[in-house]
């Protein structure tokens, strides 16, 4: 069982991190004498991929490259393409509510009584605990909405500004800023301390029926307190240095691809410096018209192509750009080395979507690519299109891959074998 580190341990550990030699152009957290840790990355393109352009006709090792797969063919040995996987019971209230459940598999999102459940990345994050500066990082191309949900089923806000996350991970605060941060954390903690003492005041007034609500509130207070304490501990630990410039934020919402690229380029840096071991990324913007030659309508509108060839043509332009981004990301992940292996081999990467067919908002037959992680790759695996096995079965594999000992997650009924 993994235990969160105390402030003292963190301080001790900081000495090691600083002493490591520089390898490559980076300052990785692990030298040859260490076993590099396993990581998990989940990337969602929330509007799906036009299925005919993605899925080949033949399965197995000899599948033919489709229009889309051509764009990432040089990584062919480093990924497996799945079709016919999905979460059961995803008919939600709003057609895009499956964005809420891609990583949680909670049923019927948005319908009466819906409550989200923990997302698979957070199970891994809880397992890693405070071993890294951030137990997980949620990133998004265009909004603060992530697909990461804590064990209460509450969404963890995403970072959507690359410069902001870069600063948090790699830019050492000036002593004055550090002092200010420390003050703020201390103030936050003393406030929470005060508020938790309010309980006595309240309990007298509250009925027994209240206790659930108030219990939840006070346990949230305690949790927040310990999170602030951990943040404070990390304040004393120097941040890793990277030889990369802080990325520029792209304010134009229309530059969807530029934004996705900027966000994705931070992932290898964050992983290699062991700033975190769990990252989720959402690529989506429902409203903007992506600034790509040949595209004149919004991404979301185009996803509802209604079989109009003109719209499908434009949709494919956008989706191909996103796939190219993903291809470049895989290149970066395979170029980075640690302890004689590639960073890619240490990282299970899930790339796909919560929609199998965005034109019909169909949440079945999801496009799913599993890359890296040391799996035996290179195949196209097609499951029963009528009776999809649970995507959660693959999540179980991924959890096991990073070291979480479990035989179930969400709606799983076993491990996926292929």
Partner 1 sequence: MMSPSTDKPALNSTVTAPPLNHPALLDHEDQCAFDLPLDGPEAKRPERLGVKADNRSQVFDSRKIRPHAEPTARLCQGRVNDESCSSAWLRRLGTESKQVGKSCVLIWLLLCLAPVTQVAGDDLAELIDTSCIHCHDEDTETRLDFSTLKREFANGQAYRKWVHVFDRVDRGEMPPRGEAQPDASVREKAIEHLKKQLHEASLKTQNEFGRVPSRRLSRIEYENTLHDLLGIGGDLARHLPSENESGSFDVIAQKQEMSSVHIRSLLKTADLALDEAIQLGYKPNMNPRKLDYYNSKYFQMWVDRPVRNGGGTVFKTDTDIVTFRGANYVLRSDHNGFRPQVAGKYKITIKAAAHQPTSSITVSLKRQNDKQGQSELFAAWDLTGSDYRELSTIKYLRPDDFFYVSADELDPAPDGKVIYNSQPAEKFKGEGVKFRSVIIEGPLETSWPPQRTHQLLSGIKWKFNEKNILGRAYQPQLIDDRVKHAKTIVKSFAEKTWHRKVSEVELEQLLRLSESGLNAKKDFVAAVRIPLRAMLVSPELLFLKGRPGQLEEVDLARRLSYFLWRSIPDAELLKLAKTNQFSKPDILTQQVDRMLADPKHKRFINDFLGQWLGLDKIDSTSPDTFLYPEYDDVLRNAMLGETREFFNHLIQENLSAVNLVDADFTFLNRRLAEHYKIDGVEGETMRKVALPRGSVRGGILSHASIHKLTANGTVTTPVKRGNFVLTNLLGLPPNPPPPTIGSIEPDTRGATTIRETLEKHKDVETCALCHRSIDPPGFAMECFDPVGTFRKRYRNSKEVKRERTPGLRFLHKDYTLGLEVDPSGQTPDGFNFQGIRDYKKHLAKSKEQIARNLVSQLIAFSTGAEVQFADREVVEEILEATKKKGYPVRSLIHSIVASRIFRNR
Which residues between 31 and 70 bind partner 1 (CB under 8 A)? Answer: none
Does residue 179 touch partner 1 according to CB under 8 A? Answer: no
Q: Smallest distance, Å, CB 416 to partner 1? A: 16
Q: Which stretch binds partner 1 (CB under 8 A): 12-20, 75-83, 183-191, 371-379?
A: 183-191
Q: Which one, 368 or 392, has the nearer CB to partner 1?
A: 392
Does residue 229 touch partner 1 according to CB under 8 A? Answer: no
- CA–CA separation, 29 and 63 (whole Å): 38
User: Residue 242 corresponds to which tokens in the numbers above?
Assistant: 């990277």
- CA–CA separation, 300 and 286 (whole Å): 5
Residues 83-122 that bind partner 1 (CB under 8 A): 88-89, 91, 93-97, 100, 107-117
The dihedral built from the CA positions of residue 204, 206, 207 and 208, taken in this order, carries a sign that is negative
Q: Which one, 117 or 147, has the nearer CB to partner 1?
A: 117
Does residue 129 touch partner 1 according to CB under 8 A? Answer: no
Selection from 22, 2, 4 nearest residue 240 by Cα = 22
Q: Which one, 78 or 160, has the nearer CB to partner 1?
A: 160
- CA–CA separation, 247 and 265 (whole Å): 9
Does residue 296 touch partner 1 according to CB under 8 A? Answer: yes
Q: Which stretch binds partner 1 (CB under 8 A): 36-44, 221-229, 276-284, 329-337?
A: 221-229
Residue 152: count of CB within 10 angstroms of its CB: 13
Does residue 206 touch partner 1 according to CB under 8 A? Answer: yes
Does residue 300 touch partner 1 according to CB under 8 A? Answer: yes
* Given 192, 315, 344, 368, the residue binding partner 1 (CB under 8 A): 192
Q: What angle do CA 327, 399, 13 make, to 5 degrees?
A: 90
Would you tell me the crossing angle of helices 211-235 and 7-19 to the nearest 10 degrees? 30
* 3-class DSSP assignment, residue 275: coil
Residues 11-30 that bind partner 1 (CB under 8 A): none
* Given 11, 20, 23, 155, the residue binding partner 1 (CB under 8 A): 155
* 3-class DSSP assignment, residue 187: helix
- CA–CA separation, 384 and 387 (whole Å): 5
Q: What angle do CA 141, 391, 146 make, to 5 degrees?
A: 25
Does residue 364 touch partner 1 according to CB under 8 A? Answer: yes
Q: Which stretch binds partner 1 (CB under 8 A): 57-65, 69-77, 125-133, 359-367?
A: 359-367
Q: Which stretch binds partner 1 (CB under 8 A): 65-73, 300-308, 345-353, 376-384?
A: 300-308
Q: Which one, 108 or 265, has the nearer CB to partner 1?
A: 108
Beta strands 347-352 and 380-382, pairing class: unpaired
């Amino acid at each position: 069982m993994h235990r969160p580190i105390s402030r003292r341990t963190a301080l001790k550990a900081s000495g090691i991190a600083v002493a490591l030699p520089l390898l490559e152009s980076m300052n990785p957290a692990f030298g040859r004498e260490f076993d590099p840790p396993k990581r998990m990355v989940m990337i969602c393109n929330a509007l799906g991929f036009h299925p005919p352009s993605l899925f080949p006709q033949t399965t197995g090792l000899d599948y033919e490259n489709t229009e889309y797969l051509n764009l990432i063919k040089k990584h062919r040995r480093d990924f497996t393409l799945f079709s016919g996987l999905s979460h059961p019971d995803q008919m939600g209230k709003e057609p895009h509510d499956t964005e809420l459940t891609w990583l949680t598999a909670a049923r019927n999102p948005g319908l009466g009584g819906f409550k989200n459940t923990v997302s698979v990345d957070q199970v891994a994050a809880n397992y890693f605990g405070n071993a890294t500066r951030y137990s997980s990082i949620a990133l998004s191309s265009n909004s603060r909405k992530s697909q990461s949900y804590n064990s209460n089923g509450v969404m963890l806000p995403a970072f959507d500004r690359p410069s902001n996350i870069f600063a948090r991970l790699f830019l050492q605060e000036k002593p004055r800023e550090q002092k200010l941060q420390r003050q703020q954390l201390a103030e936050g903690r003393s406030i929470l301390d005060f508020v938790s003492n309010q309980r006595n005041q309240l309990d007298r007034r509250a009925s027994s029926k209240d206790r659930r609500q108030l219990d939840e509130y006070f346990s949230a207070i305690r949790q927040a307190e310990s999170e602030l304490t951990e943040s404070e501990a990390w304040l004393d630990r120097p941040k890793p240095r990277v030889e990369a410039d802080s990325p520029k934020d792209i304010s134009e919402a229309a530059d969807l691809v530029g934004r996705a690229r900027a966000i994705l380029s931070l992932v290898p840096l964050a992983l290699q410096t062991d700033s975190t071991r769990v990252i989720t990324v959402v690529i989506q913007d429902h409203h903007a018209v992506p600034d790509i030659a040949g595209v004149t309508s919004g991404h979301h509108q185009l996803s509802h192509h209604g079989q109009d060839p003109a719209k499908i043509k434009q949709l494919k332009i956008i989706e191909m750009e996103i796939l190219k981004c993903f291809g470049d990301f895989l290149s970066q992940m395979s170029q980075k080395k640690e302890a004689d292996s590639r960073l890619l081999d240490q990282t299970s990467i899930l790339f796909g979507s919560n929609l199998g067919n965005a034109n019909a908002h169909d949440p079945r037959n999801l496009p799913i690519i599993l890359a890296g992680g040391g799996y035996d790759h290179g195949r196209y695996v097609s499951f029963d299109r009528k009776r999809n096995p649970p995507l959660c079965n693959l999540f179980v594999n991924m959890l096991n891959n990073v070291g979480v000992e479990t035989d179930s997650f969400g709606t799983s009924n076993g491990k996926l074998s292929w």
